[in-house]
Structure 1
Amino acid sequence: MSDTPTTPDRIVDEARRRRSFAVISHPDAGKSTLTEALALHAQVIDSAGAVHGKSGRKGVTSDWMEMERQRGISVSSAVLQFEYSGAVINLLDTPGHGDFSEDTYRVLAAVDAAVMLLDAAKGLEPQTLKLFDVCRSRHIPVITFVNKWDRPGREALELLDEVEQTIGLRPMPVTWPLGVAGELRGLIEVSTGEFTRFTRAAGGATRASAEKVEADVIAAEEPDFWSTAQDEIALLAEIGATFDEKDFLSGKATPVLFGAALSNIGVARLLDALVELAPAPSEREDAEGRPRALDAPLSGLVFKVQAGMDKAHRDRMAFLRINSGRFERGMVLTHGATGKPFATKYAQSVFGNQRTTVEEAFPGDIVGLVNANALRPGDTLYSDDAVTFPAIPSFAPEHFAVARTADAGKTKQFRRGIEQLDGEGVIQVLRSDLRGDQAPVLAAVGPLQFDVVAARMASEFSAPIRLDVLPYQIARVTDEAGEAALSSQSECEVLLRSDGVRLAVFSNKWRMEVILRKFPDVPFEPLLAGTVTD
């Protein structure tokens, strides 16, 4: 444990060093590759795993689950914590696939900034828009990185215009590409005019070499590209696209950088920008709207629970975002949901699937708490002064299936597995007296969640399952009166979620509207939409 005395000033000073952010994007925009490249440039790994694209690459450091390695997509969030340029970086890689929006939503509850990754050829895509809506609702400032500029794509000014017109963020370029997409010659620092030329490493497995080149030299070598870039930068200056910290932090504007994560071009500049521009942790409001001071007694939010990270021990880890105070391993905290004590003897700092024991942590840090069977996403832990942070809402499920054990001799394992996956938030588990515990209903935002459940039930619990899809498409929150009213109706039923919420599920929107008109006095409240636009 640290011998340095804990004082309010030290807690605040340490918090100022923290930069906690998530990378958000549409699938295949290069999010996990960028995450790996950032760690590579921070010199915390020797070589990147992304070599030949999704189908043939090694699993990147942050994609540790077997399914992720097989499919080449991130289906869970991961935490990479490392030091860089005097700052402590907590980098959270989020699922790119829309079926796992709930996991991304939880991660965004734990960060102070986000990197919005755009594909140079595709620009803003549907999942990017949905995730940006979450950032806007949580007042999370966004830095934009235009990726894959070493491949054919759209014009830079066109992409910036799309960002402003579609999501209302004023672009503020920090770097500007020399050369069109697919013919990248290097990057220009907009504020100084300094030009950097890159030589990509073989396969992008190591850092690209960077060389500063005088303006007159590169202007002579690339006269057309240089002239065009200077005209574009001048135009941006005329329309006021210069960096403004206040507009960035208030969510009115976004700094924009260009590069190519797979080639490791522009990644170091992005990492520097995160240290320079991204906000440090600040006071977070509790459930009553009162700010919790950074130097207040220890408090934190559990935003994710994940099992199976250590196959040798089959343990369960809860990820705790420290919101106030100094965390010290071994301290006994209070679990806000139950009022019971929670010991933190087994506290870990996480880097992908690798762990080291953490002795202390400060606001903005992410701490992994091992064997946290009692914790669920959205729980608050605190010491001394009681506090509860706003709950993390569940999304409205749109896919439903009955789960049954495929082996009658595995009933105990089946129950334990379903209970654990429910506690992790992998799936919503619904039950009713009619169906019984042997046939719980699994409710998902997207069908890939069912694949994850089936894979984990078979591999982690040795309890293969059968899934029978139900003909429901929409859910509403109701109460006992709603349950009684729907008992005589067809194409619907009421199921009880594990948190005590009653969900009325309907075969389609038309059928739901017919029933709602029939029972106008019965409450049927919408949940947070999976499209995260509510």
Structure 2
Amino acid sequence: MSVVADRQQSQEVVGEAARRRTFAVISHPDAGKSTLTEALALHAAAITSAGAVHGKGERKGVTSDWMEMEQARGISITSAALRIDYGDCVLNLLDTPGHADFSEDTYRVLSAVDCAIMLLDSAKGLESQTLKLFEVCRARRVPVITFVNKWDRPGREPLELLDEVEQRIGLRPAPLNWPVGIAGDFRGLVDRATGRYTKLYRTPGGATRAVEEDIDPEQAGEVEGQEWVQATEELDLLGEIGAHFEEESFLAGESSPVLFGAALPNFGISSLLNTLVDLAPAPGDKPDAHGGARPVSAPFSGQVFKMQANMDKAHRDRMAFLRIASGRFDRGMVLTHGATGRPFATKYTQAVFGSERSTVEDAYPGDVIALVNANALSVGDTLYTGPKVEFPAIPSFAPEHFAVCRAKDASRYKQFQRGIAQLDAEGVVQVLSSEVRGEQAPVLAAVGPLQFDVVTDRMAQEFNAPIELAHLDYTLARRTDATCAPAAHALSGAEVLKRRADGELLVLIHNKYRLRVIKRDNPDLVLEPLLAGGTEPDE
């Protein structure tokens, strides 16, 4: 490629990267995250009708929930990537599991986004899982936009919710709009910057976009009466306490723009989309593993943040989701696999919209592409062109539940081995082993017990290798080294196993009280926390 052509391509990449907004939605279970995902896609005209998590009548289930277990239980189990064109921008929405038991998948996804929407239930406010995920965002310096959901249902006072955000997580709230009408009597929204009042009208079942009507502020008082008076008084109070948006503070993770709405009837979704376009950061230079930074204009590079198998049952494929860090991707280009140095072909690269797929011809920094038949890839792997690129590893979260796994049918042992290896590579669970237990009885380590249900279901359905689990009485895992492993293994209430994915030695311990005693009696024993975003069980 000539110097002129190379310069033109670099300019093209920078311009395309500036159009991208890559973000995730984080929340506590049942805060309405999957419903919000559908509402965003609906308002961006990516779909024509939205389905609630539990589809009603002829309405389908949520687009992003493609697994049978997700559709049957009405929860999100695995993350999904949705690409949405909105105006001149490309929105890459990484939907994540809301249930706490699948939070490790969420932590991996947060390594691939530039911004997060923190979804709060208007009645419940900040909940435990939301707090955990926010701490991960803080550790990764991911700026957060707050969306107060379910304002069409009875809930708390808006000022009370803002105070809770500031007091509990130290994030200064800066409301961009304000609700007219208390929670449960949602009339409309006032834009703080323009003073414009938008009255909202519900559509049947919330399956299509809500009808919005702009009303002159002077006329709004006549239309809404006392609710308008209360809203204007609260807006005056916000001005007096200086609750204004500051971009520098937002990008530094010190403040959060706040919007109100209701995802199910599609109230306030347009404001959220416009806020994402206007305020969420575009992809920037990505830190590498050696303290430098990879410019978006550099030759192609990207990192695998998620593995998923058998999304298409007809083909039984294995798909790697890769976030592009730099350069332009063109279908068919041959990349270098950082872990092995071997070439990796990209002829069948796809974009995934829930369970639907389409072929990707080109993509840019911030985009998420799905590499098909990616049997050689694992979470954290780097792909690139040109000189070698290495990005920081994506850490695993500390498991709190453990179970010995065995095949019910010894004649299906090969299928059992293949299935356990694949689920380990995907990150569905962490797989541990030891010489004492043997390869026929690996120990599965999970953040939450529902992960074991996923493993049991997939082993039976996909690999025809039904399993039985024997739960272990451990609740903590700590990292040790080969020198300390024999002494740690000899301790009462502890066991040393090796993590298959990276070969690290982990000490499983009954509980935090036993951990304290072990540390007190064995001060020289190496017992390091397994950090992921700075979160660990209390010691």
TM-score above 0.5: yes
Q: How many residues align?
A: 532
Alignment partners' CA distance in 1, 2:54 and 2:67: 19
Q: Which residue of 2 aligns with 1:509?
A: 512
Q: Secondary structure at the match of 1:461?
A: coil
Aligned match for 1:173, one of 169, 172, 175: 175
Q: Secondary structure at the match of 1:443?
A: strand
Q: Which residue of 1 aligns with 2:70?
A: 68
Q: Which residue of 1 aligns with 2:93?
A: 91
Q: Which residue of 2 aligns with 1:195?
A: 197
Q: Which residue of 2 aligns with 1:400?
A: 402
The answer on whether the counterparts of 2:139 and 2:534 sit within 8 Å (CA) in structure 1 is no
- Give the counterpart letter for 2:270 in structure 1: A
The answer on whether the counterparts of 1:485 and 1:519 sit within 8 Å (CA) in structure 2 is no
Aligned match for 1:272, one of 271, 274, 286: 274
- Give the counterpart letter for 1:311 in structure 2: K
Deviation, 1:341, is 1.6
Q: Secondary structure at the match of 2:239?
A: helix
Aligned match for 1:299, one of 276, 298, 301: 301
Q: Counterparts in 2 of 1:106-121, with a 5 A limit?
A: 106-121=108-123
Q: Secondary structure at the match of 1:303?
A: strand
Does residue 1:151 correspond to 2:174, yes or no? Answer: no
Q: Which residue of 2 aligns with 1:26?
A: 28
Q: Secondary structure at the match of 1:389?
A: coil
Q: Which residue of 1 aligns with 2:413?
A: 411
Q: Secondary structure at the match of 2:497?
A: strand
Q: Which residue of 1 aligns with 2:440?
A: 438
The answer on whether the counterparts of 2:400 and 2:447 sit within 8 Å (CA) in structure 1 is yes
- Give the counterpart letter for 1:516 in structure 2: K
The structure-2 alpha-carbon separation of the partners of 1:52 and 1:178, relative to structure 1 and needing over 3 Å to count, comes to farther
Alignment partners' CA distance in 2, 1:287 and 1:54: 48
Alignment partners' CA distance in 1, 2:533 and 2:91: 29
Alignment partners' CA distance in 1, 2:260 and 2:55: 20
Aligned match for 2:525, one of 522, 527, 530: 522
Alignment partners' CA distance in 2, 1:322 and 1:94: 19
Alignment partners' CA distance in 2, 1:460 and 1:20: 32
The answer on whether the counterparts of 2:429 and 2:444 sit within 8 Å (CA) in structure 1 is yes
The answer on whether the counterparts of 2:54 and 2:61 sit within 8 Å (CA) in structure 1 is no
Q: Secondary structure at the match of 1:21?
A: strand
The structure-2 alpha-carbon separation of the partners of 1:239 and 1:331, relative to structure 1 and needing over 3 Å to count, comes to same
Deviation, 1:508, is 2.2
Alignment partners' CA distance in 2, 1:519 and 1:195: 65
The answer on whether the counterparts of 1:297 and 1:384 sit within 8 Å (CA) in structure 2 is yes
Alignment partners' CA distance in 2, 1:370 and 1:293: 27
Alignment partners' CA distance in 2, 1:154 and 1:470: 42
Q: Counterparts in 2 of 1:4-23, with a 5 A limit?
A: 7-23=9-25
Q: Which residue of 1 aligns with 2:144?
A: 142
Q: Which residue of 1 aligns with 2:329?
A: 327
Q: Secondary structure at the match of 1:446?
A: coil
Alignment partners' CA distance in 2, 1:422 and 1:430: 9
The answer on whether the counterparts of 2:404 and 2:472 sit within 8 Å (CA) in structure 1 is yes
The answer on whether the counterparts of 1:102 and 1:530 sit within 8 Å (CA) in structure 2 is no
Alignment partners' CA distance in 2, 1:222 and 1:511: 61
Alignment partners' CA distance in 2, 1:290 and 1:51: 43
Q: Secondary structure at the match of 1:481?
A: coil
- Give the counterpart letter for 2:329 in structure 1: F
Alignment partners' CA distance in 2, 1:511 and 1:243: 47
- Give the counterpart letter for 2:285 in structure 1: E
Q: Counterparts in 2 of 1:479-498, with a 5 A limit?
A: 479-498=481-500
Deviation, 1:514, is 3.2
Alignment partners' CA distance in 2, 1:218 and 1:51: 35
Q: Which residue of 2 aligns with 1:243?
A: 245
Q: Provide TM-score, normalisation by structure 1.
A: 0.96
The answer on whether the counterparts of 2:398 and 2:536 sit within 8 Å (CA) in structure 1 is no
Superposed CA offset, 1:266-320 (max 9, x none): 0111111111111100101101121111111111111000112111111011000
Q: Secondary structure at the match of 1:435?
A: coil
The structure-2 alpha-carbon separation of the partners of 1:55 and 1:202, relative to structure 1 and needing over 3 Å to count, comes to closer
The structure-2 alpha-carbon separation of the partners of 1:338 and 1:514, relative to structure 1 and needing over 3 Å to count, comes to same
The answer on whether the counterparts of 1:49 and 1:205 sit within 8 Å (CA) in structure 2 is yes
My pick for the range that moved more, 476-485 or 419-428, is: 476-485
Alignment partners' CA distance in 2, 1:418 and 1:156: 48
The answer on whether the counterparts of 1:149 and 1:184 sit within 8 Å (CA) in structure 2 is yes
Q: Which residue of 1 aligns with 2:367?
A: 365
Q: Which residue of 2 aligns with 1:44?
A: 46
Q: Secondary structure at the match of 2:322?
A: strand
The answer on whether the counterparts of 1:175 and 1:190 sit within 8 Å (CA) in structure 2 is yes
Q: Provide TM-score, normalisation by structure 2.
A: 0.96
The answer on whether the counterparts of 1:113 and 1:140 sit within 8 Å (CA) in structure 2 is yes
Q: Which residue of 1 aligns with 2:379?
A: 377
Alignment partners' CA distance in 2, 1:234 and 1:159: 17
The structure-2 alpha-carbon separation of the partners of 1:509 and 1:56, relative to structure 1 and needing over 3 Å to count, comes to farther
The answer on whether the counterparts of 2:299 and 2:386 sit within 8 Å (CA) in structure 1 is yes
Q: Which residue of 2 aligns with 1:231?
A: 233
The answer on whether the counterparts of 2:35 and 2:62 sit within 8 Å (CA) in structure 1 is yes
The structure-2 alpha-carbon separation of the partners of 1:230 and 1:4, relative to structure 1 and needing over 3 Å to count, comes to farther
Provide structure 2 residue ranges, at least 5 long, that are not aligned to the other structure.
none
Alignment partners' CA distance in 1, 2:406 and 2:57: 33
Superposed CA offset, 1:145-175 (max 9, x none): 1100000000111111111111111111111
My pick for the range that moved more, 57-66 or 46-55, is: 46-55
Alignment partners' CA distance in 2, 1:213 and 1:88: 31
Alignment partners' CA distance in 1, 2:59 and 2:527: 47
- Percent of counterpart pairs with the same letter? 65
Alignment partners' CA distance in 2, 1:56 and 1:417: 36
Q: Secondary structure at the match of 1:7?
A: helix
